[in-house]
Amino acid sequence: METNLTPLMLSLKVAALSTSFVFVLGMLGARWMTQKEFWGKNVLESFFLLPLVLPPTVVGFGLLLLFGKNGFLGQLLEQWFGIQVVFTLSGAVIASIVVSFPLMYQSAAAAFTGVDQRLENAARTMGASEWRVFWTVAFPLAWPGLLAGLVLSFARGLGEFGATLMLAGYIPGKTDTIPVAIYFAVEAGQMEKALFWVVIIVSLGMGTTLWLNWWSRRNVRRYANQK
């Protein structure tokens, strides 16, 4: 069997790019939401978490409507930046961002809620701006939860299939991430090739969760000592 490693490289690229966006968006979104009380907050939060419960094909369909040639965002991106989303790597990244955002958001919201408000208030009484309170108190204390969200989002980005297929399609060498490559290898009866990619993605997933478990336990111990 000839081994073409493009799906691995593409998957890592998509997951890394989408995780970078998701980390910043999820973290700032969660911080903002945990600080503010406003009418409709529950509805907005439910909307953020929707990709967790919807079938990926529904997410993909929605993204096609938004980012397609006639879609509102698709037209804007093409006119302003000359970026085409459908059937490109950008499409795979966007699909990955949307499905992994809820994981980052949830982890970050739980992490920020867990930070003792009195510590942040102590910083404020000492003259610290909200930005300084965030970087010097909230962020470091929420870091274990933020990191868990980051790792989960990366793993989710690696494994994204349904929405990616709907938006980015299957173009070998261009949009064939590992999960998509597995599906089309099975379709074509290339079971050895499918198995190879299955082993790769299981190893990556297992490695990620093992590391996450180890890290969480280490942090639980560390924080238990600090209290």
- Chain contacts with other proteins (rule: CB under 8 A): 116, 118-119, 121-129, 136-137, 140-141, 223, 225-227
- Long-range contacts for 208-211 (Cβ within 8 Å, ≥24 apart)? 208/151, 208/154, 208/155, 209/155, 211/151
**Shortest distance, CB of residue 41 to other proteins, whole angstroms?**
20
Write the DSSP assignment of 37-96 as a string of letters. --TTHHHHHHHHHHHHHS-HHHHHHHHHHHHSTTSHHHHHHHHHH----TTSHHHHHHHH
110: exposed, middle or buried (C-beta count within 10 Å: 0-12, 13-18, 19+)?
A: middle
Report the residue number, 120 or 160, with the smaller CB distance to other proteins.
120
Nearer to other proteins, 2 or 37 (CB): 37
Nearer to other proteins among residue 32 and residue 223 (C-beta) = 223
For other proteins, give the closer residue by CB, 130 or 187: 130
As measured in angstroms, the least distance from the Cβ of 38 to other proteins is 17
Q: C-beta of 123: minimal distance to other proteins in Å? A: 7
CB 63 within 8 A of CB 51: no
Least separation in angstroms between residue 45's CB and other proteins is 25
